[in-house]
Amino acid sequence: MNNMLELTAISKQYPGGVQAVDQVSLTLKAGELGVLVGPSGCGKTTTLRMIAGLEKPDQGTIRIRGQAVDGQRPQDRDAAMMFQSSALFPWLSVAENLAFGLAKKNLDRRTHRSQIEAIARQLQLEDLLERKARTLSGGQRQRVALGRALLKEAAVLLMDEPLSSLDRQLRLQLQDEILRLCRQRGQTTLLVTHDQSEALNLADRLVVMNQGRIEQNDIPQRIVAQPATLFAAQFIGERPINLWTVRSAAPQSIFQPSQIVWPDGADTVVIGVRPQQLRARRLNSASGSEEAALMGEVVIERFHWTGAQRFGSGRLGGSPVEFSLPEGVNSQIGDRVVLSADASALHFFDPETGRRLSCTAIPVSE
């Protein structure tokens, strides 16, 4: 048995009729780091609270290490929870706060102390052990909270937006620490965030939620490469995906029908192309795009710079569009460039249901 956490069709409706969680099922194997990601209000925290035993599901089963935990009190569950602003006891020292992670274990004082020191070393808190928690910075506080949760040595570590109160640099640093510690300890972890880049950075398994339901549950690479729904395509991705609503009988002229296999029976589809896969080149440059499935001219209206890559935006085929500017394309606002994308970059979705249409575009070779 190496399923550490198993949720089977759990649902929760709050008084007032809000269906916060709707038939959520997911499994984490031993040592896996799962990330629940989705917009505010989609049910992430409620899911975590049900696992921790702080809310009772209306339906469904939760298993930790294969054991159903329904009816178990939070303190009896083999789960440790770390919150967004983890409440440390401000007037107690770091060491005393960490000790709460160990409280139930009845260890002798020396073992106690050595475990606290070990985790403090791992989290670079050694020099702060005697400091009062109220004198710590936000990043140090979150480290103590993480240490306290890890000291519990629970089968499953639950983390609710553990880094969202920190600035970007600290967040990246602590992301690395969470990854390193979870790996080192083989700690099965379920972390909640609304930040898709944090989710991609951390997750072995990414679970995209929307309105109480799971949109997609997969490895991050596959969610980026093959989003199962329009929502997942829009929510995950460094830059917003470009979308066109297209009638297969009369597609906009930017689509090259000879290069596209239309999904069976679909009259109207939504086609998505990520900006990274929509490349700009100069009007007069040697083409090399004869086999492109999407091609058109655009006037650059704006630039976007992510630090790693430069993007431009304008309008194409009746929709706003963002595209990547390869190095060496030294363009200015108002310049005209040619955009092209291969058939393999096109994602097709049903405009009614938002589901990915099974047919992935494949290049048609003569």
Ligand X SMILES: Nc1ncnc2c1ncn2[C@@H]1O[C@H](COP(=O)(O)OP(=O)(O)OP(=O)(O)O)[C@@H](O)[C@H]1O
Q: Which stretch binds ligand X (CB under 6 A): 14-22, 56-64, 221-229, 287-295?
A: 14-22
Instruction: Please name the amino acid found at residue 164.
Output: S
Within positions 120 to 159, which residues make up the interface with ligand X, using CB under 6 A? Answer: none
Q: Which stretch binds ligand X (CB under 6 A): 44-52, 115-123, 222-230, 344-352?
A: 44-52
20 part of the interface to ligand X, by CB under 6 A: yes
166/325 with CB nearer ligand X? 166
44/77 with CB nearer ligand X? 44
43 part of the interface to ligand X, by CB under 6 A: yes
Q: Are 316 and 258 contacting, i.e. CB atoms less than 8 angstroms apart? A: no
**Max CA-CA distance within the chain?**
77
The per-residue DSSP string of 140-196 comes to: HHHHHHHHHHHHT--SEEEEESTTTTS-HHHHHHHHHHHHHHHHHHT-EEEEEES-H
Supply the minimum distance, in Å, between the C-beta of residue 159 and ligand X.
Answer: 12
Supply the minimum distance, in Å, between the C-beta of residue 13 and ligand X.
Answer: 9
The per-residue DSSP string of 270-322 comes to: EEEE-GGGSEEEETTS----TT-SEEEEEE--EEEE-SS-EEEEEEETTEEEE
- The alpha carbon of 44 is separated from its chain's Cα centroid by a whole number of angstroms, namely 12
- Among the listed residues 11, 45, 189, 340, the single contact to ligand X using CB under 6 A: 45
- Distances in Å between the alpha carbon of 284 and those of 316, 329, 356? 19, 12, 36
Within positions 186 to 205, which residues make up the interface with ligand X, using CB under 6 A? Answer: 194
Interatomic CA distance for residues 166 and 168, integer angstroms: 6
51 part of the interface to ligand X, by CB under 6 A: no
25/285 with CB nearer ligand X? 25
**By CB under 6 A, how many residues form the interface with ligand X?**
13
Supply the minimum distance, in Å, between the C-beta of residue 169 and ligand X.
Answer: 22
Reduced to 3 states (helix: H, G, I; strand: E, B; else coil), residue 44 is helix
- Among the listed residues 11, 33, 34, 46, the single contact to ligand X using CB under 6 A: 46
14 part of the interface to ligand X, by CB under 6 A: yes
Torsion of CA 308, 314, 317, 318, to 10 degrees: 130
40 part of the interface to ligand X, by CB under 6 A: yes
102 part of the interface to ligand X, by CB under 6 A: no
Instruction: Please name the amino acid found at residue 195.
Output: D
- Among the listed residues 1, 9, 18, 225, the single contact to ligand X using CB under 6 A: 18
Pick from 88, 78, 165: which is nearest to 132 by CA? 88
Residues that bind ligand X (CB under 6 A): 14, 16, 18, 20, 38, 40-46, 194
